[in-house]
Structure 1
Amino acid sequence: MLIATVDDAQQYIDEMARKRGYVLDYHKVMAKHDFPVLQAANDLVGAAYLNQRALDRKTKELIFIVSLTVMRASKGHIQSRIKVALDLGVSPQEILEAIEISLPEAGVVAFQAGFEAWCEVVGAEGLKPTVEAFRGGSGA
């Protein structure tokens, strides 16, 4: 078996970044410490996600965002997929609608994690209640 060099691993991780549009922290560490397993895992991702098949890349990104939201992945992981989707031309509204699909099946807690990740990436802000709302306001 051929042992990979640090240069081989660096080239591989750079190519992953070019193809995917991101690399995760575990990719970086695995490239240095268990390169063959990283390659095997990446081959699976290639077959299921990166290689062109029936679904286009935008659709796959939306599915990834929803599945990561439902699985309650780390905010950074969800945000990395949101950024790739935006780079591919998916609109912030389309991404939000995809995240909202998690509500009925995964619940509010899962939705909120995906929603918070989305808000930070797209810079979404909400409305705040007026002072009158806290004073009882004028009921009509």
Structure 2
Amino acid sequence: MSESNEALEYINEMARTRGYVLPYHKRMAEADMDALKAANNLVKAVYTDQRRLTKQMKELIFITSLTVLRASHGQIASHIKVGLDVGLTKEEILEAIEIMLPECGVVTFQHGFEVWADVCGVKGIEPTVAVHDDSK
């Protein structure tokens, strides 16, 4: 089997197991399969292999910890999508993100909330009175 076929098969298996593949996984598969396999084995041991925590609990932990770390939009979104796929409701995910407010503050909460709103299709309600637009 060629290296590129092995890498593709490995990435496909990661996608089947995790429900997502991040951009760095794809690049590592091409650049350094040994390192990717070592990192993935750690993830298998603590995340994808079934142990004591349910898949739903693990996804909530991932979503909140990635939000606290201010991870990329795509990384948080991938775990929100997996969370929804494994049976979490969008309200349960939002509640987990809201738990961060007292300990981590509004800025951290907003980071996770914006990703959640994008993934869940929450558009927001626009005021009908004139307001100053600070988003620019």
TM-score, normalised with respect to structure 1: 0.89
Match of 1:81 in 2: 79
Match of 2:106 in 1: 108
For residues 67 and 100 of structure 1, the distance between their equivalents in structure 2, rounded to whole angstroms, comes to 12
Q: 1:130: Cα distance to partner? A: 3.2
Of stretches 58-67 and 105-114 in structure 1, the one that deviates more from structure 2 is 105-114
For residues 28 and 111 of structure 1, the distance between their equivalents in structure 2, rounded to whole angstroms, comes to 29
Q: 1:45: Cα distance to partner? A: 0.4
- Of 16, 19, 31, 1:18 maps to 16
Match of 2:115 in 1: 117
Q: 1:128: Cα distance to partner? A: 2.7
Match of 2:50 in 1: 52
Match of 2:134 in 1: none
For residues 104 and 27 of structure 2, the distance between their equivalents in structure 1, rounded to whole angstroms, comes to 31
- The higher radius of gyration belongs to 1
In structure 2, list runs of 5 or more residues that go unmatched.
132-136
- Of 54, 59, 62, 1:61 maps to 59
For residues 27 and 60 of structure 1, the distance between their equivalents in structure 2, rounded to whole angstroms, comes to 20
1:32-90 deviation line (CA, Å, top 9, x unaligned): 00110000000000000111111000110010000000000001110010011111111
Q: For residue 58 of structure 1, give the secondary structure of its aligned residue in structure 2.
A: helix
Match of 1:8 in 2: 6
For residues 104 and 33 of structure 2, the distance between their equivalents in structure 1, rounded to whole angstroms, comes to 34
Q: CA RMSD in A?
A: 1.6
For residues 42 and 112 of structure 1, the distance between their equivalents in structure 2, rounded to whole angstroms, comes to 30
TM-score, normalised with respect to structure 2: 0.91
Q: For residue 85 of structure 1, give the secondary structure of its aligned residue in structure 2.
A: helix
For residues 72 and 6 of structure 1, the distance between their equivalents in structure 2, rounded to whole angstroms, comes to 33
1:16-46 deviation line (CA, Å, top 9, x unaligned): 0000000000000000001100000000000
Moved over 6 A (4+): none
